[in-house]
Amino acid sequence: MQEHNLPVLESIPCNECAAGLMTPRLITYFTWLGGELITVPDFPAWICDMCGRREYDEKSISWLKMLLAPNAGKPTRKRKPAPRSRPLSSSSRPTPES
Ligand SMILES: [Zn+2]
């Protein structure tokens, strides 16, 4: 009896161009979170060698979303100092004249 510890990443036929083969690779995944660009290195994805289509592992995506979810589990203490809203005063703004 064998247990499935890790999903075996196999090459799968591309469903976009139907001619290419999507091979599992570790890429750097980019996603936006609250206006910040988050980069996740060594993220499993399938890349088509023909059209370059990317497919991400659903489990990894959901895992990542859980990690990045602001309200999941403990509250994050990482808060940016909120810039104070200051009134727009056009008089203090130097107007370049040339
Ligand atoms: Zn393709």
Ligand 1: centre distance to CA 49 (Å): 7
Structure tokens at 50: 């023909």
CATH code, residues 12-68: 3.10.20.860
Ligand 1: centre distance to CA 37 (Å): 27
Q: Residue 57 is which amino acid?
A: D
Q: Indicate the pTM of the whole model.
A: 0.55
The residues spanned by each domain of the chain are 12-68
For residue 67, the SS3 value is: helix
Ligand 1: centre distance to CA 52 (Å): 6
Ligand 1: centre distance to CA 70 (Å): 35
For residue 42, the SS3 value is: strand
Ligand 1: centre distance to CA 14 (Å): 5
pLDDT in tens, the chain (98 residues): 656 565 666 889 999 998 999 999 999 999 888 889 989 999 999 999 999 999 998 898 898 888 887 665 555 566 677 777 766 665 656 667 76
Residue 60's nearest CA partner among 41, 45, 39 is 45
